[in-house]
Amino acid sequence: MCQFKHWFFDDNGYVVQCEACNYFQLSFGTTMLTLSNSNYQAFVDMVASKKENHIPMTDASVKCIVLATPCSSIHTILTGKELDQLHTMLQEADTEMKTQHLLSLFKNGCH
């Protein structure tokens, strides 16, 4: 059974990582992905790229942003607002991971 490090959690979803296998579980809206470290990082990078290059629609409720997943036959589709929320969630999880890494350096006596 997995023991998870909790990197982010709110009403929209969560990011956790198994301490044993290092796989990530990312939940957002009605989608949950289990991703290897490299696939997780690729997904984070893709979301950041989509966010940076997204041109808002006139109708913000239109689901028009397609995100690929490691499974070639499964994609997620989001509104601009959902993309913003997912991007924020992933950035906050990244900040938490980096903070915990820095704290572990001090805890383990590295300078």
Span 64-111, pLDDT tens digits: 999 999 999 999 999 999 999 999 999 999 999 999 888 888 776 655
* Alpha-carbon torsion angle 10, 105, 22, 88, nearest 10: 30
Q: What is the pLDDT of residue 59?
A: 83
| Pairwise CA distance, residues 25 & 65, whole Å | 21
Alpha carbon distance 46, 78 (integer Å): 13
Q: What is the per-residue pLDDT for 102?
A: 85
pLDDT tens sequence across 4-59 = 999 999 999 999 999 999 999 999 999 999 999 999 999 999 999 999 998 887 78
Collect all residues with Cβ–Cβ distance below 8 Å to 81 and sequence separation of at least 6: 60
Q: What's the pLDDT at 109?
A: 65
Task: Give the Cα separation of 86 and 66 in Å (integer).
Answer: 13
Question: Domain map of the chain by residue range?
Answer: 4-107
At 38 the pLDDT is 96
pTM of the complete model: 0.89
CATH 1.10.357 is right for the domain spanning 4-107: no
pLDDT of the residue at 107: 77
Cα-Cα-Cα-Cα torsion 98, 102, 104, 108, nearest 10 degrees, comes to 150
Q: State the Cα–Cα distance between residues 10 and 26, nearest whole angstrom.
A: 12
